[in-house]
Structure 1
C-alpha cells in the first residue's frame, strides 16, 4: 500500500481523535476545575493531585505499551481500536463521579488509555504518509488537541459558571460520545485503505536487542538524550500552566466567559501552530527550531506575572501559537527522522514516558507552590521549566550540528 500526502482521510480522523485524546480527555480537566470544586469540594492543591493521578496512568500506559507492541507487532490497529473506544466510554463514566476517589480512578484509567491512543494513532497515521510530509501530517494531527481546547473554552459559561453546577458533567458526556464517533471513523478509514496492515519489521530482530537499540538511541548524550530531556521538562512546565491558569483567572474574579475566551485563545492560536509548526520542522528539522518555540512559550506563560488581564491573554495566545503543540509534534517528527522504522513506535512510547513523568511531577510541584505562594506564582512557576526545556532543545540542536559536521567527510 503506497504512502499518501499529509492531507488524507486517515490524518483527518486522527486529528479528530486528538481532539479527544488531548483536548478533551487530558486538558479539559484544568478548564473544569472550578466547576468540579463546587460539586466535589477540596482545595485546588488537592484537586491538582488528580491531575497527577491522570499522568501516573499516562506513564503506566506508555511503559506498558512498548513491550506490548514488541510482543504483538502486527496488532497495533486492534489495540488502538479497543483503546480509542474505551477512552470515549471512560470520559462518559467520569462525568458521573460524585467523590474524590471515584474521579481519581476514572482519571487514572483515562491516563492509561490516552497514552496508548497518543502513540498508536500517531504511529498508524504516520505509516500512511510520505516521509517528506510527515512533519506537516504530524502538525495536522496535533492541532486536533488545539481544537479540543478551543471548543472547551467556548462553553466555559455553561461548565464553570456558578449558575451551572453540573455543566462539566454534561460536557464530559458529550466529549465521550464524540470520542466514540471519532474512534469509529478512524477505524473505518484505516481498515478501508489497509493502513492497519502495515507489515512488521521487528519479527527478524530479537526483542531484547530492539529494546537495547531504543535505549541506546534515546539516552545517548551524543544522540537524542537532550531532546528527550527537553520533552520531559516541557511536560513539567506546560501542565502546571494548563492546570492552574483557569483557577487563577476565576480566583481573580474574572467572569467565566472571559476566562473561557482566554482558554479558547490558546486553542485557536494552536490551530495555526499545528500546521505552521509541522511545515517548519519539515524544512528545518533541528533542535534550534524547537528551542525557539519553547523560548517564546516561556515569555508567554510569564504574562501572568504582570497581573494584567490583557498581558495574560496575550501570553496565553503566544503559548498556543508557538509552544503548546510545537514540542510534541516536533519531537515526534524528529524521532521519526532519527530512529529506524522498526523501533519508532517503541521509541515514541519511551519518549512519551519521559514526557508523562514531567507531567506527573508538574501538578505536584505546582500544587505545593499554589498552596504556599498563591495561584499567580504557581502558574508563573511553569516558566522556569519551560526555559529549561528550551535550553535543552538548544543543546540538542548543537549536538545535531556536530553530528552533521562529523558526517561530512563520510558523504564526501
Structure 2
C-alpha cells in the first residue's frame, strides 16, 4: 500500500491540512464578508468597490486553480502548499496596513492566487498517502472553510471592542500570524506522497485525452459546476428572505447559525460515509437532500420550516463539495489526480462567479427570492440525474499501488513515509 493508514498518521495529516485550510480558505476567502462592513466604512468604499474586492479574490482563484494541478505533478505538492500559504499570509498582512483602494484590491488578488496554490496540492497529499480514506480527509479540508468563518464571526466583536474602528486591521494581522503558524505545521508534518508510475503504453496516450477530454472527469466537472452555481445563492439571499417573511433578525441569525455549525461537520461526516457505502451513493443522497432543503422555505416560509431547511442544507452542502472532489481524483490514474482536481474545481469556481449574479437578476426581475431558491433546487436535481451514471474507482487502486512500489521504496529512504514523520 502507499501508506499504512494508521489513525495516528491520518489525524496528524488531517490536523496539518485543516490548519492550512482554515488560514487560506477560511481567513483568506471566507472572512472578507464578515470584515467588509468595517473596512467599507473605514476606507470610505462604495458597495460596488466592496463587491469588486470579493470578485477579485474569486478571479485570482479561478485563473490559477486550473494550472496548480499541473505544477503539483511537476514540482511537488508540499512546496506549493508552503508557497501558497505564504502568499496568503502576505495578503493578510497587507490588508492590515492598506490605505488605498489600489493596494486593497492587490491584496485581495494575492489572497485569491494563494488559496489556489494550497487547496488542490493539499488534497493531492492526502489522497496520495491515504487513498481509501480520501472521502473523510477531503471532508475535513472543506470543513476548514466553515471553521474559519466561525472563528471570524466570534473574534470580530472582541477586536472591534478592543481596538475600535481599527479592529479589522488588527484582526487581519492576527490572521497573518496564524497563517505563519500553519506554514510551520505543514513543513513539519506534511510529506509528498510517492508518484505512481504509468505503464509505457499509458504514457503514450494523449495527456489531454486522459484528463481534459475524459468523459468521466467531465461528468464530475459539470456536476461540481452545478453545485458551485447553487452554492452561494442561499448564503447571499436567504437572510433577506427570512426577514421578508416576518421573522426577526435574532431568529434569522439563529437559523443561519444552524447552517454554519452543520456545515463544519458535514464534510467529514459524508466523506466518512462515502468511504463505507461508496462515493456515488453518498453524493446522490446529499444532492437529493440538498434539493429538498431549498424547496422547504418556499413551501413552508415559517420559523420551523426555515430552520429545518438550513439544518438539512448545512448538513449536506459541504458534503457535496468534498464528494465531488474525491470523485474527480478517482476518475484518472493517481499521477493525474491533482490535474483532474484542478480542472473540475475550475468549473466549480466558474459556477460560484455566475450563481449569485443570476440569482440576483431573477430576484430583481421577478421580485421573488423563492424563484432563485427554486432555480438552485432544479440545478441540484439535474446534478442528481447526471450523478446516476458516475463511475466509481475508474482506476483500480490495487494496480496503481503495485506499480508504485519501486517509487515508494526509493521515496521512503529519501523522505520518510507518514509513519516516520
Structure-1-length-normalised TM-score: 0.79
Report SS of the residue matched to 1:22: helix
For residues 84 and 207 of structure 1, the distance between their equivalents in structure 2, rounded to whole angstroms, comes to: 35
Quickly say closer, same or farther: Cα 1:346–1:382, change in 2 above 3 A. farther
- Which of 31, 35, 39 is the equivalent residue of 1:32? 35
CA contact (8 A) 2:329 2:340 kept: no
Question: Relative to structure 1, is the Cα distance of residues 301 and 103 closer, same or farther in structure 2, using a 3 angstrom cutoff?
Answer: farther
Query: CA offsets, 1:338-388, max 9 Å, x none?
Result: 3211110100010111111112223433455566677x83x9725523531
Which residue number in structure 2 is paired with residue 132 of structure 1? 132
| Equivalent residues in 2 for 1:250-269, closer than 5 Å | 263-269=256-262
Cα distance change of structure 1 residues 366 and 148 upon mapping to structure 2, 3 Å threshold: same
Distance 1:244 1:99 in 2: 30
Tell me which residue corresponds to 1:59. 62
Contact 1:135 1:329 in 2 (8 A): yes
In the alignment, what sits opposite 1:15? 18
Q: Say yes or no: does 1:214 pair with 2:211.
A: yes
- The separation in 2 between residues aligned to 1:364 and 1:108, in whole angstroms, is 20
**Partner SS state of residue 196, structure 1:** coil
Q: State the partner residue of 2:312.
A: 318
Q: Which residue pairs with 2:142 in the alignment?
A: 142
In structure 2, the CA distance between the partners of 1:164 and 1:358, relative to structure 1 (3 Å rule), is farther
Structure 1, unaligned stretches of length 5 or more?
404-412
Q: Deviation at 1:179?
A: 1.8
Shift in Å, 1:213: 0.9
How many residue pairs end up in the alignment? 386
- 1:118–1:258 Cα change, 3 Å: farther
| Distance in 2 between residues matched to 1:154 and 1:353, nearest whole Å | 31
Partner of 1:96, secondary structure, is: coil
CA drift at 1:9: 0.5
Does the Cα contact within 8 Å between 2:212 and 2:218 map onto a contact in 1? no
Moved more, 276-285 or 152-161: 152-161
Q: Cα distance 1:372–1:364, how it changes in 2: closer, same or farther (>3 A)?
A: same
Higher mean C-alpha deviation, range 140-149 or range 262-271: 262-271
Instruction: State whether residues 33 and 247 of structure 1, in contact with CA within 8 Å, keep that contact through their aligned partners in structure 2.
Output: no
Provide closer, same or farther for how the CA distance between residues 34 and 366 of structure 1 changes in structure 2, counting only shifts above 3 A: farther
Between Structure 1 and Structure 2, whose CA radius of gyration is higher? 2
Q: Tell me the secondary structure at the aligned position of residue 334 of structure 1.
A: helix
**TM superposition shift of 1:236:** 1.9
Distance across 1 between alignment mates of 2:5 and 2:327: 19
Deviations 1:180-225 (A, max 9, x none): 21121011012xxxx22524637977698223310122xx2xx243
Residues 85 and 183 in structure 1, CA contact (< 8 A), matched pair in contact too: yes
What is the aligned partner in structure 2 of residue 365 from structure 1? 358
1:171 Cα deviation from its structure 2 partner: 2.7
How far apart in 1 are the matches of 2:373 and 2:35?
20
Which residue in 2 is equivalent to 1:392? 383
Decide whether aligned partners of structure 1 residues 170 and 241 sit closer, same or farther in structure 2, where only a CA change above 3 A counts: farther
Match of 2:197 in 1: 201
CA contact 1:120–1:345 (8 Å) conserved in 2: yes
